[in-house]
Amino acid sequence: MGRFCLHNRLLDAFAACARSGSFTQAAQQLFISPTALIKQINQLEDGLGVKLFLRTPKGLVLT
- Multiple choice CATH, 8-51, 1.10.10.10, 3.30.70.1350, 1.10.8.10, 1.10.3860.10: 1.10.10.10
Mean pLDDT is lowest, of 5-14, 33-42, 50-59, for 5-14
Planar angle of CA 40, 3, 33, nearest 5 degrees: 10
Kindly report the number of other CB atoms within 10 A of residue 26's CB atom: 25
Q: What percent of the chain has pLDDT over 70?
A: 89
pTM, two decimals, is 0.85
pLDDT on residue 27: 98
Does 63 score more than 80 pLDDT?
yes
User: Any bridge partners for residue 61, and if so which?
Assistant: 54
